[in-house]
Amino acid sequence: MKNPYESETGCCPRFDPEPWDEKEFEWDSKRFIKDKVRCLFHMPLTFGKAMMRCCEKIERADAYTPEPPLVLSDHTSPWSLDLYVEVAKEVADADNSTLSGTYVAKVFEGPYKDARIWCGQMQEWVETQGKSIKKQLVYYTTCPKCAKHYGKNYVVYFAEV
């Protein structure tokens, strides 16, 4: 499988938090393909397999986005999450999905174990903006191996408001 995005690791590109931190985005039918990830108390168990399935479908369809895609997680229960991988066009043999609405984003940095803390901080930050969260999505910007290589583990929380 090829990686069309520039990366010193051959895997995840280096992430720049500036364009994402405390920003607002309007999405109108933003395209994604969707997959399921099994979890154990919100800890993803099959994330890598789901990513591989999505990447293979994107490659077959040549549906790469111009920039590295958003990879969003919707933690639907302690046992499952919906994985959304941004695509440039509809992908055959995939669960094509779109997201629309106003989303605000905030970047966090640190170990994944801090996710519960970040979730609370995101809630507080959104409230200081005079808004309330309809839905929260998480963008894990790099895999654990690449986060270690880069020395930073950035995670972006998106809140639909």
Angle ∠(155,88,118) on CA atoms, nearest 5? 15
Quick: pLDDT tens for 3-24. 788 889 989 999 999 999 999 9
The verdict on residue 53 lying in a domain is: yes
* pLDDT confidence tier of residue 1, bands split at 50, 70 and 90: low
Q: What is the pLDDT of residue 43?
A: 87
The verdict on residue 139 lying in a domain is: yes
Quick: pLDDT tens for 21-66. 999 999 999 999 999 999 998 889 999 999 999 999 999 999 999 9
Quick: pLDDT tens for 93-133. 999 999 999 999 999 999 989 999 999 999 999 999 999 99
| Domains identified in the chain, total number | 1
Q: Which structural domain range is residue 99 located in?
A: 23-160
Lookup result for tokens 């790099």: 142
- 95-109 and 23-40: which strand pairing? antiparallel
Q: What is the CATH number of the domain that holds 59?
A: 3.20.80.10
